[in-house]
Chain A
Amino acid sequence: MLKSGNNIMLIEIQNLNVAYGRKKVLENVTLTLRKNEIVTIVGPNGSGKTTLFKAIIGSIPIKSGSVVIKQNLKIGYVPQVLNIDRSLPLTVERFLKLAKNRNDQGFLRAQQILDSDDLLSSPISNLSAGQLQRVLLGHALMNEPDVLLLDEATRGLDQPGSAAFYKKIEEIRETTGCAILMISHDLHVVMSASNRVICLNGHICCQGEPKSVAASPEYASMFGSKVEGTLALYHHSHSHEGKGA
């Protein structure tokens, strides 16, 4: 089941249930990630998005169901934040080299993402939000991952900033062929960049191609009045840039 021609299955989650104490956080979540796919998870706060990621990387116990990760799958994880205390003297380069299973090729890719050589030697506690996001992405690339997990990677970035960030993600997929699973709040970006969108609210409300998800009533009820704006933005980019390219 894990292999079917070109559609190599990287992550396969079936009927996953996770609970914190008595509180159910994830209920019967089933999803798959194949090679080369970009899948985005959207959902309100507290809908279990980050918990889902934690289940994938194995940092929380699961109650029932299964999380099957392809053997020897290399995961690059981009967290929301770092707990950097100013008392910790750490340069960007040192942080990158803390990555496990790093290789030279990965370091090269990370440097390309940083976009500037000065950044390598600067203390990590002095970075701007945009720089920090690039550094975190660079760190995730150090082991040449097969899958990138991005947890609200554009939090704290303005719109041009997050647009530039997503462009980088696209480039990474094109050059390395790695699959991408991301949590995002930038609904309109999500809609244009993803192969599949999953709406999560404890359980999976709906999933499918961006267009069909955007049109579904579950999605509309989840994001309320924001949806109209989102749709407008989505159609906007659609009509101006065209999808044929």
Chain B
Amino acid sequence: MLDDFMVRAALAGIGVALAAAPLGCFVVWRRMAYFGESTAHAALLGVSLSLMFEFSVFLGAIFVSLLMASLVTLAQGRSLFLDTLLGVAGHMSLATGLVIVSFISGVRIELMAYLIGDILSVSKTDLLLIWIGLVIVLVMLSWRWSALLLCTLNEDLAASSGLKPRRESYALTIGLAIVVAVGIKVVGVLLIISMLIIPAASARSLVSTPEKMAVFASLIGMLSAILGLNASYVLDTPTGPSIVCVASLIFIITLVLSFFAKQFSAVVKNKKES
């Protein structure tokens, strides 16, 4: 079964979507979208280094995004212009990565695959890495779920009940680095952030608890991966961007639906009152 490249691609897409969506909820709640994007950009530096010195792309990506995320976590609370620092560090690594790649002959065409993903070339090893990453992220999230929620709401409140907010947010950071690293093969460094935030944002208007939001986001992410993969097969379009387009479409649909649902409930309310 795994010998079929479409099956591998589907399993890879589903794996990344399932890891990214619940983590993405925290990215949205904690307003870390820019942080996530910079971490993803930084990963390209890791990719280019691994191409240059010929070691695993996955290792290179996870190493540099962890490094980047750790530096930012350290800087948090110490620097007033964190947002700017993030932009500088993220783009600096992205640009450096691109320059390094230009020195290596023969990988220029391959570069596109790391920017927007190349899900159809996922190997069995890639698949294994993706699903190991998924398990780590899900175990970490379900283990620290309540603690992370409390830290998100107020770090001092969390500290007063014996939690260590810095450690909790570092766990999220590690999760983010893992998702970025496993997501490169599927949607690439430029689009991985969308797998984090678009399903979460789409789920928001459908739910009333944080847990349901994570579950719905996972479902939406999975659906986007499958539909996007099929669409790219039928229309002969690049797969990563197709998956993101489907996710965006779902986001717009939920937005419109929730708008009409609100109008409808307002009308019903008015009728009841009159």
Chain A: residues with CB nearer than 8 A to chain B?
53-54, 57-59, 75-77, 79, 81-85, 87-91, 94-95, 98-101, 123, 139, 143, 149, 151
Contact A54 B156 (CB under 8 A): yes
Q: Interface on chain B toward A: helix, strand, loop, or mixed SS? A: helix
Whether the pair A53, B156 counts as a contact (CB closer than 8 A) is yes
Using a CB–CB cutoff of 8 Å, the interface residues on chain B facing chain A are 28-31, 146, 149-150, 152-157, 159-163, 165, 200-201, 204, 207-210, 212-213
| CB <8 Å contact, A82 and B154 | yes
CB contacts (< 8 Å) of B152 on chain A: these are 83, 88
Residue of chain A at shortest CB distance from B78? A21
CB distance from B80 to the nearest CB of A (A): 13
Number of interchain pairs (Cβ within 8 Å): 75
Which chain A residues lie closer than 8 Å to B155 at the CB level?
A: 59
Hey, which chain A residues are within 8 Å of B200, CB to CB? 87
Q: Are B153 and A89 in contact (CB under 8 A)?
A: no
In the bound complex, CA of A76 to CA of B153 (Å):
16
Apart from A59-B156, A90-B153, what are 5 other A-B pairs with CB-CB below 8 Å?
A: A81-B154, A82-B157, A88-B152, A90-B149, A90-B210
CA distance A76 to B207 in the complex (A): 30
The interface residues of chain B lying within 8 Å CB-to-CB of A100 are 150, 161-163
Q: A59-B165, A89-B209, A90-B210 are in contact. Are A77 and B157 (CB under 8 A)?
A: yes
- The contact of B153 among A53, A59, A84, by CB within 8 Å, is A84
Q: Is the CB of A79 within 8 A of B201?
A: no
Give, as a whole number of angstroms, the nearest-CB distance from A95 to chain B.
7
**Quick one: which of B149, B201, B209, B212 contacts A87, CB cutoff 8 A?**
B201
Bound state CA distance, A115 and B213, in angstroms? Answer: 29
Set of chain B residues within 8 Å of A76, measured between Cβ atoms: 160
Is B204 a contact partner of A89 (Cβ separation < 8 A)?
yes
Give min CB distance, B24 to chain A, whole Å: 11
The answer on a CB contact under 8 Å between A77 and B210 is no
Q: In the bound complex, do residue B153 and residue A149 qualify as a contact, i.e. CB atoms below 8 Å apart?
A: no
Can you name 9 A-B residue pairings with CB atoms under 8 Å? A57-B156, A59-B165, A77-B156, A79-B157, A82-B153, A83-B154, A94-B209, A98-B149, A98-B153
Q: When A94-B209, A95-B153, A98-B146 are in contact, do A85 and B160 touch as well, CB less than 8 Å?
A: no
Q: Which residues of A contact B209 (CB under 8 A)?
A: 89-91, 94
Q: Which of B31, B160, B201, B212 contacts A57 (CB 8 A)?
A: B160
